[in-house]
Every structure is written in C-alpha cells, then in structure tokens.
C-alpha cells in the first residue's frame, strides 16, 4: 500500500479496488492506491526519478517522472498520479524525454556539480540519470552560485554545491528518524537546506547523528567524512525495513 | 441575540431615517489610496468645520470606501447633487462647507458627466464610496444580510446552489472556474467537517481590487462566505488576507466583531440551525500563497508551498477536509445574486462570462483607479472612455492583464470584448483584474523582464523547472535588454518558456512565461531590435554600448 507518512495517506483511494490500464501500450493491473510510477516499476518500465524514494512521502517536485496520459493536455508526475480504469499512459514519448533532459540540465546549471572532484562520482543519481537520458552537454548558462561546505559535524559533511533540493534529507529526518533537524530556508533560486535554525550541523542539538540523510542523498551533497573522490557509496537498505516496521507498528496502534 | 427580518428592517429604517435627516452628506474616501494622500486629515477638518459652524444636524461628514478614481485623491463626494471634488486639501475645507447648498467650488469640481462614473456598472462595488465600511448598520441599510436571511430561512441548500449555478458566475481569482460547480462539488462531499476560505492574498503587481472591496465593504464578503457555508455545509470560514493590507485587515476584523455581536455570525444564525464563524489569517508576503494548496498549507501553519493536485481542495483541503476556496470578488457577488436571483445576474455580461468585473487601472492612463464594468465591454472603451486615454498625448502600445500570469494585449485587439475566453484566445488571462496600460515609451522586453523578475523572486523553489527556469529566463532577458544577446539566446528563451510552462508544478510556474510569450508573439520586432541593432525601439533600455 502506498504509505505516505504523517497523515499523507490518500483517504480518497480505495486499496481494495483493482483496475487495469495501459502503460506504453502494455496492459497492466493496479490497486487504486498504487501510483503510476509504482505500477510501471513493478512491470519493469523505467521512469526516471530524483526526489522520489521508496519509503519517503512524495513531493512531486523534481518533475523528472512526468508522463503523458492520452486525452489529458497536461503532463502528469507519475509519482503522485493514480491510475484510472482504461487510462493510457505514455512514459517515453520524445516530448517528455526532451523535457526530462532539459530539467536535468537546469539542475546542473543551478549549483556547481563538478563530477571529477566529487565524492559521489560514479555513484551519483544525478550523474546516472544524465547518462541514462543521454545528456551530453548543457545548453543553458551555468549560474556558478557561491556555496559553502559545512564540515562542522564530527562524522558527516554537507556540500551545498552538489545539492539538488530533492529534500530527501528533510523527509527522512522528519518522517523516519523523527528528529526534523533538516529543513529548508529561503525560496526560489535562493532555497537552501539547513540544519536546525540555519546553524552549523555540528552544533545542531536535534541531530541524532544517525546518518540517514547522508544515505538517502542522491548526490555528493551529503557525505561521510573521510571519503575521497568517488568513494562515497550510499547504503539505503535500511529504508524499506524501517518502513515496514513502522507500518506494522501503526497497524498495532490502530487496533 | 437572534435577529429576524423585522429587526433587520428596523435597523435599516433607523439608519435610513438618520441619513435622510441630513440636508447634506459629505462622503470622504478613506480607502488606502486616498488615505495615503491625506483624506483622513481632510475628513477631520471637514467635521471640525461643520461643528464650528453649528451645522451638525444639517450636514453629515463620513468616511466611505473607495470612490474609484484614485488618481484624483483625496476625493470627496457630495451625495446630494452628486458632485465630486478632487485633490481636496485641508485649506479647501472652509470653501466646501461654505458652498453647500450654493454653487459648487469650481476649482475642485470633477466633471460629473465624465465617462469614468457614467459608464460603469456597479454590483460588487455598489456600496463602495457610499457606506461607512466601519458601521454594520449602513450595510444593513443597503439591504445587507438580506441575502443571507433569504438563503437561510426561505431556501434549501439545493436552491442556493441552483441560483449560484444559474447565475453563471465564474471565479474572479483568475482561472474563471464556474463557481456553482465548485460549490456543488464541495456540497456533495460527505465529510461532516468542511471549510470555506476567502482568498484575499492579492499579490499581482498593480492590482488592488480585493483590497478595495475589503476596505470599502467588508460585510459583503462576510455575507457571501456565510451563504457559501450554508450551501456547502461548512461551519467555519477563514479569510486569508495579506499582512501588507493593514487597513483591510482592520476593517475585516471590525466587521467580523460587529457581525458576531449582532448574531449574524455565530451559532443559530437568524434562529435557524445554521452556525458559521469566520477567522482571519494573515499571509506573510509570499505571492505563491495565493495558490490554493499553498494557501491551505499556510493556514495550517506549514510552509506556504503548493502540492500537486489532484486531490483538489474541494475533496481534500484544509486539515484534509473538503474546502471551498473563492476569491474576495467572487464572494462579494453572492449577496446580490441571492437577493435578485441567478437569472438577473446571468442577464449581465456575455454568453460565457456573466456579470461584471472589477479592474484596477494602472500604468500610463489618465484615470488610474478602480472600475467595475459589465463583462464583454471592449478594451477600447475601458482604456479610452473610462480610463480617459493615454496621458501627454502619447500613443497606446499594450495592456497587460492578469499580472505576472497574464499577457500583453497589443493595439490590434483593442476592440476585443473583455471576457474570460477572449482574453484566453489572445494568450492572456482575466486574472484577478489588474490592468496595466503601456504607451510608446514602454519597452516590451523590459516589461517582460519586470514580470519575470517578479516570478523568479516569488517562485517557492519546490519544483526544479520553475526554480531554475525562471532564473535562466530572467538572465536571458537581462542579456537582451543590455544589448548582449544573440539569435541563439532568443531560441533558448522560447525553449525555456515552453519547458517552464509545461512542466512546473503549480499555476505560478505554469503561467510565469506568459508575459514573455505574448510579448514575443506581438512585439517580436522589439526583441530583434535589441539583438540585431543593439537598440531599444522605445528608448527605455540602456544597451551595453550606451552604458559604457
């Protein structure tokens, strides 16, 4: 069941109702509360995502998972769109693929993503997506913003130059760890993830040092100290497990 | 205290008798525009002067809401004789009182045959400039709260929904969604807790319709919301108003406490089993909070960020309950619709756009101010007759409607009727009603840049295309106005506009490219002149060469 933590459960969807629809001309079946993205992945149909992570609430914000639905003028983010009976979804039209590439390029221009000196080089989701989608160059001007590195935490560091503002760190810290150390400040192009009230991570009193934020970060923005170029490999095995345990716990509370 | 219709009529009668008891009534505009150029002092001076001459029982001086012609402020209206005095100063006060009942003070007189006042049709603003917004009795004297009484005591919910649907009223916040349909949808939800929200987070540059209505006639909005609460089954309302409107906030709060004291809000209104309360919530200055899901997040105390829809607020809104969100002007249209019936309202306007629309005229136009005209009035009539044309004999260039989400309408569409669909056809939108007129001295690239800068700084930053895309577009526009752009930049600009329009999460991003797209469409030569000849056709931009 698509479980969105913190009351984000879609009460308008009925998990006991089943339906069939088409993704890229393939007939698929789904429960009403499964997103198009979930169903596509169950059927081996790849849709690129960046802000989505199994086990965290959905934001629908990176816009990489947009798909076309026949008869609907707007492009829909598949992570928060639920299928309807006989819906026809197209995940890989030239139009959406081009849009995805351009969005990735915009993300590259937003901060200073210099792969060759990045701890996550070779293990980076942004990098992998670009390779998959065939992004060979960036057609927009780089913005070259000035961003600092915060290495005040004893075990981890944050490099805002690599951040793509997916807010996985904010969500995992709030929804899974329950600490809510991370949040976001500013708006628009000046947005920035912060710890506590924008103080150095090392002085953030709410941080439990669990490191979940580091493991879910798609790029080299959050990393463990002591890792050199290309050495930071993220381990996310804990998420589905914790999510499952949380689910069980919640069920037992409801009884 | 429980009122019935006799009580209402009694209050109205006493108020009307008091009014009639005066030979002369001087209405001084005390809405934000006139107030800021000193109408408060003028009003006090008038009252003092009248008192000094012992004319207290003969002449009444009162503060009223917006008279509309903001450019001529401080503005006062003499209700007997229907004269307007413009640009009144404290020094003029003695002459004005002296001239009561005699020939008017010519130097202050605003021509009363002027199209500005003659050509308007006032429904939403019918009480603006006539009643004291700080006294509920004056609203009641103008048939106020009669619509709510009618709805509660003589109409079923279904009948109220029917009247609103029949009126053909469409949302005045911008998108023009049919109000009756929205109300019916919320009414159909089964949840026992529902909410009504009034969106008064007016943020478009150059737009001040909602502020003016709240400052001039706050009870009308409250009545509209209560009717909506009855029709949809909600018992709690919220007015989300931006904190930059302190006067509107003050008057709304005052109006709410007056209505509560009279029992028009609260439990068992008019002795029925309907209860309704309204609370005020202040916006902290984010444009994106005018977007309904961001607004809801803000009321809930979370960050004002939009979320993907569906589910729409009608089924999943404030604190996850079904929520009706309408704009100030939409609610202000409800009382007359209930009083006169949906059919009456549907008789005004065009086939698909019913009723009237309030516009805020601003920019290069003689009569800057607030107007209300029937839907379908040609743009030319609004600009040249009501608006008085372009000052200093300059040539008209374009009208920008719909704020940062709208577009620029060039001269060739001047005879177009102003309604939702016509505006949509030419690439703009009705929006909330801002109308910025531009003359030959305005550079359209610069105008597009201004609106893009606004969208860029107001983008919440949640979705990538809007967050980065608006910045990239803005950078290219800067490059063009500085004379440093190439033809490739123009192609990139169009490409980016397409991307941001089609992939952004909420309405802000999806409509942010509109000012650029319409100016590219109608004023491409200006873009090309900047690029090829490094020249600004309007002479407004300083290109790189000139700067150095």
Instruction: Note if the bond before B235 is cis, omega within 30 degrees.
Output: no
Q: At what angle do helices B179-188 and B218-232 cross, to 10 degrees?
A: 50
Per DSSP, the residues of A200-250 read -GGG-TT-----HHHHH-SSSSEEETT--TT------THHHHHHHHHHHHH
Question: How far apart (Å, rounded) are the C-alpha atoms in residues B70 and B275?
Answer: 39
Question: Do B307 and B316 contact (CB within 8 A), yes or no?
Answer: no
How far CA B228 is from CA of A112, B124, B443, B540, in Å, comes to 51, 16, 44, 48
Q: Topology of domain A112-238, per CATH?
A: Alpha-Beta Plaits (3.30.70)
**Tokens at residue A132, please?**
């998959």
Instruction: Note if the bond before B74 is cis, omega within 30 degrees.
Output: yes
Question: How far apart (Å, rounded) are the C-alpha atoms in residues B214 and A125?
Answer: 50
Q: Indicate whether B543 pLDDT > 80.
A: no
> Which residues in chain A have their CB less than 8 angstroms from residue B506's CB?
none
pLDDT at B423: 92
Question: How far apart (Å, rounded) are the C-alpha atoms in residues B55 and B458?
Answer: 53
pLDDT at A1: 35
Question: How far apart (Å, rounded) are the C-alpha atoms in residues B433 and B370?
Answer: 10
Q: Which of B133, B548, B470, B143 is nearest to B288 (CA)?
A: B470
Mean pLDDT of all residues in chain B? Answer: 92
Q: Do B458 and A188 touch (CB under 8 A)?
A: yes
Nearest to A107 among B468, B504, B505 (CB): B468
> Which residues in chain A have their CB less than 8 angstroms from residue B457's CB?
188
Question: Do B189 and B234 contact (CB within 8 A), yes or no?
Answer: no
How far is A11 from chain B, CA to nearest CA, in Å?
9
Nearest to A187 among B308, B459, B492 (CB): B459
| Residue B295 zone, left/alpha/beta (φ > 0; ψ -120 to 50; rest) | alpha
Question: Do B235 and B168 contact (CB within 8 A), yes or no?
Answer: no
Q: Do A188 and B461 touch (CB under 8 A)?
A: yes
pLDDT at B115: 82
- Quickly count: other Cβ atoms within 10 Å of residue B107's Cβ: 10
Question: How far apart (Å, rounded) are the C-alpha atoms in residues B291 and B305?
Answer: 9
Spans of chain A, pLDDT less than 50: 1-7
Question: Do B511 and B462 contact (CB within 8 A), yes or no?
Answer: no
Task: Please name every residue paired with A28 in a beta bridge, in sequence order, or none if there are none.
Answer: A21
pLDDT at A4: 42
pLDDT at A241: 81
Question: How far apart (Å, rounded) are the C-alpha atoms in residues B334 and B220?
Answer: 8
Question: Do A98 and B503 contact (CB within 8 A), yes or no?
Answer: no
Nearest to B459 among A63, A80, A188 (CB): A188
How far is B523 from chain A, CA to nearest CA, in Å?
24
Q: Which of A193, B316, B283 is nearest to B308 (CA)?
A: B316
pLDDT at B285: 86
Report pTM: 0.92
Provide the b/e sequence for A79-89 (b: ≥16 CB within 10 Å).
bbbbbeeebeb
Mean pLDDT, rounded, for B243-271: 94
Residue found under tokens 């300083």: B542
Q: Which of A35, A48, A61 to mutate to test the interface with B (most CBs of B within 10 A)?
A: A61
Q: Do A60 and B307 touch (CB under 8 A)?
A: yes
> Which residues in chain A have their CB less than 8 angstroms from residue B193's CB?
none
Q: Domain segments of chain A: what residues?
A: 18-92, 112-238
Nearest to B468 among A12, A81, A110 (CB): A110
Nearest to A63 among B459, B472, B505 (CB): B505
Q: Indicate whether B192 pLDDT > 70.
A: yes
E strands present in B257-316 = 277-283
Nearest to B503 among A63, A109, A143 (CB): A63
Q: Do A102 and B303 touch (CB under 8 A)?
A: no
DSSP B354: B
Question: Do B505 and A60 contact (CB within 8 A), yes or no?
Answer: yes
* pLDDT range class, residue B1, cuts 50, 70, 90: low
pLDDT tens digits, one per residue of B202-247: 988 888 999 999 999 999 999 999 999 999 999 999 999 999 999 9
E strands present in B58-121 = 59-64, 76-78, 83-85, 109-110
The answer to whether A18-92 and A112-238 have equal CATH topology is no
Under 8 Å CB pairs connecting chains A and B tally to 98
Q: Do B502 and A75 touch (CB under 8 A)?
A: yes
Question: Do A133 and A48 contact (CB within 8 A), yes or no?
Answer: yes
Q: Do A103 and B460 touch (CB under 8 A)?
A: no
Provide the b/e sequence for A151-181 (b: ≥16 CB within 10 Å).
eebeebbbbbbbbbbbbbbbbbbbbbbebeb
pLDDT tens digits, one per residue of B4-26: 888 889 999 999 998 888 888 89
Q: Do A102 and B467 touch (CB under 8 A)?
A: no
C-alpha A199 chain-centroid distance: 24
Give residue ranges of A with CB < 8 Å to any B CB.
Answer: 7, 10-12, 59-63, 66, 74-75, 77, 80-81, 99, 102-103, 106-107, 109-110, 139-141, 143, 164-165, 184, 186-191
Which residues, at least 6 apart from B514, have a Cβ–Cβ distance to it below 8 Å? B402, B404, B405, B406, B407, B427, B428, B429, B501
**Tokens at residue A50, please?**
């960046």
Instruction: Answer with the residue of higher pLDDT: B417 or B4.
Output: B417
Task: Please name every residue paired with A226 in a beta bridge, in sequence order, or none if there are none.
Answer: none
Q: Do A77 and B496 touch (CB under 8 A)?
A: no
Q: Which of B308, B319, B508 to mutate to test the interface with A (most CBs of A within 10 A)?
A: B308
> Which residues in chain B have their CB less than 8 angstroms from residue A66's CB?
503
Nearest to A103 among B308, B315, B503 (CB): B503
> Which residues in chain A have their CB less than 8 angstroms from residue B285's CB?
none
pLDDT at A2: 40
Task: Please name every residue paired with A150 in a beta bridge, in sequence order, or none if there are none.
Answer: A158
- Quickly count: other Cβ atoms within 10 Å of residue B215's Cβ: 26
Ramachandran angles phi, psi of B542, nearest 5°: -95, 115
| Residue A117 zone, left/alpha/beta (φ > 0; ψ -120 to 50; rest) | alpha
pLDDT at A255: 52
Instruction: Note if the bond before A37 is cis, omega within 30 degrees.
Output: no
pLDDT tens digits, one per residue of A92-123: 999 999 999 999 999 999 999 999 999 999 99
Question: How far apart (Å, rounded) are the C-alpha atoms in residues B93 and B100?
Answer: 11
Provide the b/e sequence for B372-399 (b: ≥16 CB within 10 Å).
bbbbbbbbebbbbbbbbbbeeeeebbbb
Ramachandran angles phi, psi of B398, nearest 5°: -160, 160
What is the share, in percent, of chain B residues with pLDDT greater than 70? 98
Q: Do B303 and A75 touch (CB under 8 A)?
A: no
Q: Which of B287, B318, B19 is nearest to B194 (CA)?
A: B318
> Which residues in chain A have their CB less than 8 angstroms from residue B459's CB?
187-189
Nearest to A187 among B308, B311, B460 (CB): B460
How far is A187 from chain B, CA to nearest CA, in Å?
5
DSSP B241: E
How far is A192 from chain B, CA to nearest CA, in Å?
9
- Quickly count: other Cβ atoms within 10 Å of residue A42's Cβ: 12
Q: Which domains does chain B have, with CATH numbers?
A: 20-112 (3.40.30.10), 143-346 (3.40.50.11540), 356-439 (3.10.20.600), 444-547 (1.20.1440.230)
**Tokens at residue B407, please?**
């577009």
Q: Do A191 and B307 touch (CB under 8 A)?
A: no
Q: Is the ipTM of this complex over 0.85?
A: yes
Please report which helix (H) or strand (E) contains residue B438, including its range.
strand B434-439
Q: Do B464 and A165 touch (CB under 8 A)?
A: yes
Nearest residue on chain A to B466, judged by CA atoms? A188
> Which residues in chain B have their CB less than 8 angstroms from residue A188's CB?
456-461, 467, 470-471
Q: Do B458 and A59 touch (CB under 8 A)?
A: no
Q: Do A63 and B457 touch (CB under 8 A)?
A: no
pLDDT tens digits, one per residue of B83-121: 889 999 998 888 888 888 778 888 888 876 778 888 899
Helix/strand number for chain B, H first, E second: 24, 14
- Quickly count: other Cβ atoms within 10 Å of residue B261's Cβ: 12
**Tokens at residue B81, please?**
């004789």
* Residues composing chain A: 255
How far is B470 from chain A, CA to nearest CA, in Å?
9
Instruction: Answer whether CATH 3.10.20.740 is correct for domain A18-92.
Output: yes
Nearest to A75 among B288, B307, B503 (CB): B503
pLDDT tens digits, one per residue of B291-332: 999 999 999 999 999 999 888 999 999 999 999 999 999 999
Task: Please name every residue paired with B399 in a beta bridge, in sequence order, or none if there are none.
Answer: B409, B437
Q: Which of A4, A6, A50, A63 to mutate to test the interface with B (most CBs of B within 10 A)?
A: A63
Q: Which of A125, A126, A5, A129 is nearest to A58 (CA)?
A: A5
Question: How far apart (Å, rounded) are the C-alpha atoms in residues A60 and B245?
Answer: 33
Per DSSP, the residues of A132-146 read HHT-----SPP----
Question: How far apart (Å, rounded) are the C-alpha atoms in residues A174 and A178?
Answer: 5
């Amino acid at each position: 069941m698509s479980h969105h933590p913190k009351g984000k459960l879609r009460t308008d969807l009925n998990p006991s109702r089943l339906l069939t629809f088409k993704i890229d001309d393939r007939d698929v079946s789904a429960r009403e509360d499964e997103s198009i993205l979930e169903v596509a992945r169950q059927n081996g149909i790849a849709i690129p995502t960046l802000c989505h992570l199994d086990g965290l609430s959905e934001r629908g914000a990176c816009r990489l998972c947009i798909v076309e639905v026949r008869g609907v003028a707007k492009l829909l983010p598949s992570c928060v769109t639920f299928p309807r009976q006989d819906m026809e979804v197209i995940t890989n039209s030239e139009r959406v693929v081009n849009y995805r590439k351009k969005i990735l390029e915009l993300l590259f221009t937003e901060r200073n993503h210099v792969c060759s000196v990045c701890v996550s080089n070779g293990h980076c989701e942004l990098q992998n997506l670009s390779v998959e989608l065939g992004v060979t160059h960036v057609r927009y001007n780089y913005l070259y913003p000035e961003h600092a590195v915060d290495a005040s935490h004893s075990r981890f560091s944050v490099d805002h130059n690599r951040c793509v503002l997916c807010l996985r760190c904010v969500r995992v810290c709030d929804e899974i760890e329950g600490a809510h150390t991370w949040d976001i400040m500013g708006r628009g192009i000046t947005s920035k993830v912060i710890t506590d009230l924008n103080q150095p991570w090392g002085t953030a009193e709410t941080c439990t040092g669990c490191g979940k934020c580091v493991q879910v970060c798609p790029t080299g923005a959050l990393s463990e100290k002591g890792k050199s170029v290309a050495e930071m490999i993220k381990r996310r095995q804990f998420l589905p497990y914790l999510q499952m345990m949380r689910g069980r716990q919640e069920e037992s509370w409801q009884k | 205290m429980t009122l019935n219709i006799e009580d209402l009529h009694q209050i109205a009668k006493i108020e009307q008798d008091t009014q009639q008891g005066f030979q002369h009534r001087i209405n001084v505009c005390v809405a934000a525009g006139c107030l800021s150029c000193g109408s408060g002092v003028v009003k006090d001076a008038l009252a003092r002067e009248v008192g000094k001459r012992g004319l207290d029982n003969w002449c009444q001086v009162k503060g009223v809401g917006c008279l509309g012609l903001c450019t001529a402020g401080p503005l006062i209206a003499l209700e007997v004789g229907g004269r307007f005095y413009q640009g009144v100063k404290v020094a003029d006060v003695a002459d004005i009182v002296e001239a009561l009942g005699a020939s008017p003070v010519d130097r202050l007189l605003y021509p009363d045959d002027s199209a500005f006042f003659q050509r308007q049709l006032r429904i939403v603003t019918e009480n603006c400039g006539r009643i004291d917004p700080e006294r509920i009795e004056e609203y009641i004297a103008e048939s106020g709260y009669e619509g709510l009484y009618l709805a509660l005591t003589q109409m079923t919910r279904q009948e109220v929904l029917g009247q609103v649907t029949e009126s053909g009223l469409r949302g005045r916040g911008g998108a023009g969604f049919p109000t009756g349909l929205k109300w019916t949808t919320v009414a159909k939800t089964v949840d026992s807790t529902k909410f009504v929200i009034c969106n008064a987070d007016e943020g478009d540059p150059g737009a001040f319709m909602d502020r003016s209505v709240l400052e001039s006639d706050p009870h009308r909005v409250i009545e509209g919301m209560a009717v909506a609460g009855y029709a949809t089954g909600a018992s709690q309302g919220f007015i989300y108003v931006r904190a930059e409107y302190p006067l509107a906030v003050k008057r709304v709060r005052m109006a709410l406490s007056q209505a509560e004291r009279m029992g028009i809000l609260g439990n068992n209104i008019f002795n029925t089993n309907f209860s309704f309360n309204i609370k005020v919530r202040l916006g902290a200055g984010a444009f994106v909070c005018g977007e309904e899901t961001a607004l809801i997040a803000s009321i809930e105390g979370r960050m004002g960020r939009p979320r993907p829809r569906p589910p729409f607020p009608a089924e999943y809104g404030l604190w996850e309950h079904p929520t009706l969100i309408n704009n100030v002007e939409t609610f202000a249209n409800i009382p007359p619709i209930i009083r006169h019936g949906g059919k009456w309202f549907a008789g005004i306007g065009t086939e698909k756009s019913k009723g009237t629309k309030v516009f805020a005229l601003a920019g290069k136009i003689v009569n800057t101010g607030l107007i209300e005209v029937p839907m379908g009035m040609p743009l030319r009539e609004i600009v040249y007759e009501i608006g008085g044309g372009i000052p200093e004999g300059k040539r008209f260039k374009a009208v920008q409607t719909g704020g940062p989400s709208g577009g620029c309408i060039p001269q060739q569409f001047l005879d177009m009727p102003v309604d939702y669909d016509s505006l949509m056809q030419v690439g703009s939108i009705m929006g909330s009603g801002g109308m910025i007129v531009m003359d030959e001295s305005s550079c359209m690239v610069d105008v597009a840049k201004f609106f893009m800068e606004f969208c860029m700084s107001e983008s919440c930053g949640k979705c990538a295309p809007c967050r980065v895309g608006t910045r990239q577009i803005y950078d290219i526009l800067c490059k063009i106005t500085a004379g440093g752009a190439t033809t490739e930049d123009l192609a990139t600009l169009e490409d980016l506009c397409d991307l941001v329009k089609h992939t952004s999460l909420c309405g802000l991003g999806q409509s942010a490219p509109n000012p650029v797209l319409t100016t590219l469409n109608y004023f491409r030569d200006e873009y090309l002149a900047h690029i090829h000849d490094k020249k600004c056709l309007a002479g407004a931009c300083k290109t790189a060469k000139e700067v150095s």
